[in-house]
Amino acid sequence: MKTLVTGLASAALLMAGSLAVQASETTMRISLQLPLKSHLGQNLLAFKEEVEATSNGDISVEIYDSAQLYKDKEVPQAVGSGAIEAGVASLTRYVGDIPMVDIFYQPFLFDTEEKVRKAVAPGSPVRGPIDEAVKETGSTILWWQAYGGAVMLSNGGPIATPADMEGKKVRVFGKTLGDFTEAAGGAPTIISGSEQYLAYQRGTVDIGMTGVSGVQSRSLWEVMDTITVTNHADIEFVVVTNTDWWNGLPAEHREIISAAAVNAENAVRDEMASIEASAYAMAEENGMAIYTPTEEELAAWKQASQPVYEIFLGKTGDAGKAMLDAAQQF
């Protein structure tokens, strides 16, 4: 009898251990440089809730926000190497390996929501080649996250024309935005999103480039007093996962994650206009001036930025030209 009881107890322990393993069969850690309260953070939370509910807890999603694990610029290597299962990165962070990602930072190319939606549609002549090229870095794109148009931040007045940028130090978050800054006579400095508040506070730079939603999530009205609504680039983030980890998942887990990724992408894209409107309203409530350049002022920006297109074509060759031609038809 004693032997029987011992055997039953051992079996129960084994079964409990097996159930514990099943409960955390797949763990997906995601690195995010923005605060969880940002719209990208909220987008990840919605994804987490759907995945965990649909999988009945078989998939656990852990979000590490505010660059707890990796800064934005570190995410592509961390995910590609398998140091973490997934991460969120600004698309331009892949420009070193894939120069054509900066099609989205060609000045004023995607200046309407209609053009942006055509460019980011799955399989489009703009997005399709980028999705495929990212796979060569050891990562797979799960979904794209809209971040809105690029604006300029300053103190003491707007940056209405290139003349207002001349000789100024400018925070940028990608090489092509640096080219744009130089074409306008400014001096670019690449600064991570999580570090820009301090850069403005300390006077490291005079002007900042970011998305208006970032002004709200990072309370940038505490260190800058004016937004110039140039919308000179379309800011896109991507949620990437390590390809080996992804391919090693059970098929049913990939299906659950993929379905949730589609829903997450559509949700943030559809909400972008209201997110930006809310961010502008919050910025004004906190004392920021909002300046929209005139048509003449925008024309001056466009004329000054033409060399950026030549630099892009020089780096991307025929593939970049085909992508640019397609984009200009939207």
- 3-state SS, residue 8: helix
62 pairs with which residues across the strands?
29
Main-chain phi, psi angles of 249, to 5 degrees: -75, 155
139 pairs with which residues across the strands?
242
Domain of residue 88, CATH code? 3.40.190.170
pLDDT at residue 253 greater than cutoff 80: yes
**Residue 15 in domain:** no
**Residue 18 in domain:** no
Tell me the pTM: 0.83
**Residue 114 in domain:** yes
- Indicate the average pLDDT of the chain: 92
Mean pLDDT of 268-281: 94
Tell me: the pLDDT tens digits for 81-94?
999 999 999 999 99
Mean pLDDT of 122-141: 97
**Residue 246 in domain:** yes
Confidence of residue 17 (pLDDT cuts 50, 70, 90): very low
Confidence of residue 111 (pLDDT cuts 50, 70, 90): confident
In the DSSP assignment, the letter for residue 305 is T
Q: Report how many domains make up the chain.
A: 1
Mean pLDDT of 133-157: 97
**Residue 167 in domain:** yes
**Residue 13 in domain:** no
Tell me: the pLDDT tens digits for 158-169?
999 999 999 999
180 in Cβ contact with 189 (< 8 Å) = no
**Residue 7 in domain:** no
Q: How far apart are CA 65 and CA 63, in angstroms?
A: 6
Confidence of residue 251 (pLDDT cuts 50, 70, 90): very high
Q: How far apart are CA 209 and CA 193, in angstroms?
A: 10
- 3-state SS, residue 58: coil
Mean pLDDT of 177-192: 96
Main-chain phi, psi angles of 239, to 5 degrees: -100, 115
Residue 236 domain boundaries? 25-328
